[in-house]
Structure 1
């Protein structure tokens, strides 16, 4: 892995570790001020999103010379997660998708750097 990969993937993984932990541990009532969409998603789906974010973060952080597939798989999954998040925000009347777009671009960059 290159230094550029770690510069991109490190902060992305930290973001998803934080976000996934919040979704896994907090109740929807405590998440609502930060994430208005939690009322439109069933609790099991919210917890599944948390697990996917945490697994994606771990996948970004664990690539080794012997097992190189987790990094591209995690980056792909996190990019797809953001592509799915954009319609959720837009259909709920929340037009703030800039963070989703930035996270998508950063995940795509991590994917590209992980296979380069």
Structure 2
């Protein structure tokens, strides 16, 4: 189970870290022109806040078990990332876009959370 956790959590964290850093570094108009058209519905502040949430969630998913401290934070981060993806799914459905990418990331977050809880026992 521990190996499965590290595979799922590591890949999920990489995806969220990349997405979050992109939202933090690039301006909203550059994000929109690169295909993230949903940013047109939000001001810069919420887009950056989503980026911060994704980066913190990614770090919270892997750093606590890596350093063997406060390991309960890892599955909680997985749940929080899944909740964030629920909002992303709703946004994509409202815009009549495909909700599949946030759905997959949300499911991976849930799997990482479940595996994280099972490794605590």
For the residues of structure 1 that align with 2:7 and 2:26, how far apart are their CA atoms? 29
Could you say which residue in structure 2 is the equivalent of 1:44? 45
Structural mapping, 1:15-34, within 5 Å: 15-32=15-32, 33-34=34-35
Moved more, 28-37 or 64-73: 64-73
> How far off is 1:43 after superposition?
0.8
Task: List gaps (5 residues or longer) in structure 1.
Answer: none
Kindly indicate whether the alpha-carbon contact (under 8 Å) linking 1:13 and 1:58 is maintained by their aligned counterparts in 2.
yes
> How far off is 1:66 after superposition?
3.3
Q: Output the TM-score relative to the length of structure 2.
A: 0.90
For the residues of structure 2 that align with 1:109 and 1:88, how far apart are their CA atoms? 22
For the residues of structure 2 that align with 1:82 and 1:66, how far apart are their CA atoms? 26
Q: Output the TM-score relative to the length of structure 1.
A: 0.94
Which one of 72, 81, 102 corresponds to residue 104 of structure 2?
A: 102
> How far off is 1:49 after superposition?
0.2
Which one of 67, 70, 75 corresponds to residue 73 of structure 2?
A: 70
Task: Return the structure number with greater helix share.
Answer: 2
For the residues of structure 2 that align with 1:12 and 1:74, how far apart are their CA atoms? 11
Q: Which of structure 1's runs of 4+ aligned residues deviate more than 6 A?
A: none
Could you say which residue in structure 2 is the equivalent of 1:87? 90
Task: List gaps (5 residues or longer) in structure 2.
Answer: none
Q: RMSD in angstroms over aligned alpha carbons?
A: 1.2
